[in-house]
Amino acid sequence: MVHTLTDSQKRLIQELLKVGRWNNESEIVRYGLHLVAKEVEIDQQRSLEPYSAGVVTRTYARTQRATRDGARLGGTTKGRTRMNPGKPGSGNSRTARTLQ
């Protein structure tokens, strides 16, 4: 494999070797490739492109249904009326209450 570096890149490698963190040029190049691979991985995680068509829409719809169902089952939703079971044995099995 042939590698072509500019003079400024060669100088940078020599300066990095003086720091002592790396033992040779190959370690510096491998570390640089590692950083590029990590950057690509992070970009893919941030991007919505890897998802197939409709995945985001279906997930959003599922979340909205769960939120709606949670409100019906006793979740707190401002301005809506929900039914609460009365005290056992009180003869009042359900009471309506408007949430503030």
> What is the C-alpha separation between 11 and 31, in angstroms, rounded?
17
Report if residue 24 sits inside a domain: yes
Cα distances from 42 to residues 18, 54, 59, in angstroms, run 30, 22, 22
Q: What pLDDT is recorded for position 63?
A: 73
What percentage of the chain exceeds 90 in pLDDT? 33
What does the block give as tokens for 100? 């503030």
pLDDT at 69 over 90: no
- In whole angstroms, what is the distance from residue 3 CA to residue 9 CA? 12
- pLDDT, greater one: 20 or 73: 20
Domain assignment present for residue 76? The answer is no
Is the overall model pTM greater than 0.75, yes or no?
no
Domain assignment present for residue 91? The answer is no
Between CA 100 and CA 93 the distance in angstroms is 22
Structurally, the chain folds into a number of domains equal to 1
Distance CA 26, CA 4 (A): 13
- 60 located within any domain: no
Establish if 51 belongs to a structural domain: no
User: Quick check: is 23 in a domain?
Assistant: yes
User: Is 75 a domain residue?
Assistant: no
> Average pLDDT of 62-87?
58
Is 66 inside any structural domain? no
Domain around 38? 7-46
